Structure 1
Amino acid sequence: MSDVLVVSEHRRGELRDASYEAITAGRELADARGGDLHVAVIGGDVDRFAEDLNREGVDAIHVVDDGEEFDHNVHQAAIAALLDRTDAGTVVAPNSVNGLDYAPAVAEDRSLPLVTDAIGFEYDGGLTVTREMYGSKVETTVDVDGDRHVLTVRGGEWAPAEGVGDAAIESVDVDLLESGARVTGFEEVGGGDVDIADADVLVSVGRGIEEEENLELVEELADALGATLSASRPIVDNGWLPKNRQVGQSGKVVTPDVYLAVGISGAVQHVAGMKGSDTIIAINTDPNAPIFDIADYGIVGDLFEVVPELVDEFA
């Protein structure tokens, strides 16, 4: 049971970045175990998804054509069927709302240990998983018993899988659990017009903005850059921006090409949600602000002076 089974994720007809990151994590673990990497595509446009996920390092892709959106029962039944027909010792899923829905059910059904929100792991005859605790203030390692496991991996910790693969693609029929419940559609709530996790450029605002009326200044910068506006938790807690704009451990994990932090000090909970960004730029009056420890570029200055200059430059 040296193989690894990665469960891909999609929403509203599009694969999510977490799918490609999970493939990279799964390949890493499969190499350590000396096994193959299997990828599950469950529901949605399975043929297109399978083609997109056929990346370098993938050995086999299994598609279950049932439904358009995520369905707990379909996922649990499909993963159980794939565990029966493959040599997978570990199931790797994104540490997302969906992943945290079905992963515990799979682990319970098969009496397997479950470790969530992994940021790293090692395998040397046994699995050791690295996690963060207490608001990302403490990094811990967990030794996992047995040779089969269910693991969810945090977004932004592994690079997305690249290259073109030549994996075999097979269709799998599964018997659904008799629960009487079926997902019939998907409805966005809470200002779901924007998904900051999909943005290439984010301008993120923190408590340094001082007052809600000053948000307009940062919005102008986001417009000038063609960026999406996001925020740290204090801004959302104050009700100045909706929850779907929050970056951080209690918000969304983002990995944009550019992350511009305006008036954000860099608390560990916020950093956990954006440290995987390709380029991080920070504006803060405090030269000792923790955000500068991870920033690629930093401006020590008053955002009320710096931001208008940037707007003039890029508008």
Structure 2
Amino acid sequence: MAGILIIAEHLRGRLAPVTGELIGIAVALKEQLGGPVRVAVIDAAPEALADDLVFAGVDEVLLVNAPTPEFDTVASAHATTEIATAVKARLILIGHTVSGMGFGPAVAARLGGGFASDVITVEAMSGGLRAQRAGYANKVLSWMQFGNAPLVTLMLRAGGAKPPAAADGVVPRRTVTVDFAPVASLLSEHQGYIDPPPADVDITKAEIIMSIGRGIQDEKNVERFRALADRLGATLGCSRPVADAGWLPKAHQVGLSGKTASNCKLYLALGISGAVQHLHGMKHVETIIAVNTDRNAPIFNAATHGVCADVFEFADALETNFN
């Protein structure tokens, strides 16, 4: 087989962070799967994005001139299918994003083979590939094995991997011509962008995070912990129940259905039990301090240091010592 094909995601002339994450996953799998790692840029001006794809482990950047200046699901599905067939890809990686969900399943249906969306982790085994997904509202993690499928298309959730280092030299580029005439009548007309409200935090970039869970008991206590986080120079995070209750905006949530603490060096988990979906977003952090009144809480299995105590007493001690 002929390696891994990554479909670069971009918006308004910039590569989406998930592209680098997909490349990081592909490079990690490269030795076991064999073949080159190729990144396809489907855009009206693909050359403008190619300079941002100089990652170690990428063997070739494929430039595809799209028929529309903005992202189009039909054009992306058609181009991806044509490219994957031409290079005889063994694995296709697409972001599980709003854009990726618009064309990824269509690609898998046309090409056949294995398919999984909303993938968290990918591993290569002697018997083929396997992908990890979440179920039951992110409370259960399960593995899907694809055996000897000649082609597997996977859509990966953003925030679960890191891009590789920059390449020392220039990554080879090649223009690939795709005939869009068969789908010309199906292309959409872009009307404009409607931006979501800006988030007040970016959990993925924070180096120190203090997350709160149901142990804080009431919404009225959120401001106390927000002030404490500010005093410690930490970003305020939370578990899913806190976000679902509306105590904090979704942007603060750490976990499978929230954000991953990608760059965090110190994580304080206050009143968080440690459900699977939350642990996935922070268990990799080098130093984790967990505070919970339940000495059997799962969070202690991931913690570097554990404190079996009331979170309010713990907060009292921090406030006293950081005056």
TM-score for both structures, normalised by structure 1? 0.83
Q: Secondary structure at the match of 1:122?
A: strand
8 Å CA contact 1:77, 1:175 repeated in 2: no
Q: Secondary structure at the match of 1:114?
A: strand
Q: Equivalent of 1:213, from 195, 212, 220?
A: 220
Matches of 1:21 and 1:286, distance apart in 2: 36
Q: Identify the residue that residue 309 of structure 2 maps to in structure 1.
A: 301
8 Å CA contact 2:114, 2:153 repeated in 1: yes
Q: Identify the residue that residue 148 of structure 1 maps to in structure 2.
A: 151
Q: Identify the residue that residue 287 of structure 1 maps to in structure 2.
A: 295
The gaps in structure 2 that reach 5 residues or longer are none
Report the CA distance between 1:206 and its aligned residue.
0.9
8 Å CA contact 1:128, 1:142 repeated in 2: yes
Instruction: Name the amino acid aligned to 2:131.
Output: V
Report the CA distance between 1:81 and its aligned residue.
3.5
Deviations 1:8-40 (A, max 9, x none): 334566544432232122123332222000012
Report the CA distance between 1:175 and its aligned residue.
4.8
Q: Secondary structure at the match of 1:35?
A: coil
Deviations 1:211-241 (A, max 9, x none): 1111112211332344433321211222212
Deviations 1:244-294 (A, max 9, x none): 332223333442323332221111122233334454332323332211211
Matches of 1:281 and 1:5, distance apart in 2: 40
Report the CA distance between 1:118 and its aligned residue.
4.6
Q: Equivalent of 1:263, from 251, 267, 271?
A: 271
Matches of 1:303 and 1:69, distance apart in 2: 49
1:203 aligns with 2:210: yes
Report the CA distance between 1:62 and its aligned residue.
2.1
Instruction: Name the amino acid aligned to 2:99.
Output: N
Instruction: Name the amino acid aligned to 2:171.
Output: A
The gaps in structure 1 that reach 5 residues or longer are none
Q: Identify the residue that residue 100 of structure 2 maps to in structure 1.
A: 99
Q: Secondary structure at the match of 1:88?
A: coil
Matches of 2:278 and 2:44, distance apart in 1: 32
Q: Identify the residue that residue 84 of structure 2 maps to in structure 1.
A: 83
Higher alpha-carbon deviation: 57-66 or 204-213 = 57-66
Matches of 2:296 and 2:44, distance apart in 1: 48
Matches of 1:38 and 1:168, distance apart in 2: 10
8 Å CA contact 1:2, 1:30 repeated in 2: no
Q: Secondary structure at the match of 2:30?
A: helix
8 Å CA contact 2:255, 2:279 repeated in 1: yes
Give the count of matched residue pairs: 315
8 Å CA contact 1:156, 1:276 repeated in 2: no
Q: 1:12 to 1:255 in 2, by over 3 A?
A: farther
Higher alpha-carbon deviation: 11-20 or 286-295 = 11-20
Matches of 2:51 and 2:59, distance apart in 1: 13
Instruction: Name the amino acid aligned to 1:230.
Output: G
Deviations 1:111-139 (A, max 9, x none): 33212315232243643434454444353
Report the CA distance between 1:209 and its aligned residue.
1.2
Instruction: Name the amino acid aligned to 2:78.
Output: A
In the TM superposition, what are the counterparts of 1:121-136 in structure 2 within 5 Å?
Answer: 121-124=123-126, 126-134=128-136, 135-136=138-139
Greater Rg by CA: 2
Instruction: Name the amino acid aligned to 1:94.
Output: G
Matches of 2:191 and 2:206, distance apart in 1: 28
Q: 1:276 to 1:207 in 2, by over 3 A?
A: same
Report the CA distance between 1:150 and its aligned residue.
0.3
Report the CA distance between 1:74 and its aligned residue.
3.8
Instruction: Name the amino acid aligned to 1:9.
Output: E
Aligned-residue RMSD, C-alpha: 3.2
